[in-house]
Amino acid sequence: MWTLTYSVEGNRHVEVIPHDQVGQLEPLVKRCREHLDALRELGAINAQLLHLWRLEQRSRRPAKPTLEAKSTRRKSRRRRRSLSK
């Protein structure tokens, strides 16, 4: 005796499968498992693509100014102010 357990809209159902019908259902169950495996693989591929895209987005951002660059900017502003006075 086999049982088939499934959910519909969050409600769990259990069907008893008579032994003489098991042979008819086995190919269907196999195809269902193959389909679910393919969906899992597709989800993993999409997750990898998302990860690579995020890495690419990070590398395209302009670099934050370093402390040295900030101090150079301040000096040049001071020079401009002193020249204009």
pLDDT tens digits for 5-43?
999 999 999 999 999 998 998 899 899 999 999 999 999
Residue 85 belongs to a domain: no
The arithmetic mean of pLDDT across residues 48-74, rounded, is 78
The pTM for the full model equals: 0.54
Residue 37 belongs to a domain: yes
Q: Print the domain residue range for 48.
A: 25-59
Instruction: Please work out, in degrees rounded to the nearest 5, the angle formed at the alpha carbon of residue 38 by the alpha carbons of 35 and 43.
Output: 130
pLDDT tens digits for 59-69?
887 766 666 66
The total number of structural domains that make up the chain = 1
Residue 34 belongs to a domain: yes
Q: Which two tokens stand for residue 77?
A: 């502003």
Residue 74 belongs to a domain: no
Question: 60-72 burial by CB neighbour count: b if 16+ within 10 A, else e?
Answer: eeeeeeeeeeeee
The arithmetic mean of pLDDT across residues 54-82, rounded, is 69
Residue 84 belongs to a domain: no
Distance between CA atoms of residues 12 and 29, nearest Å: 18
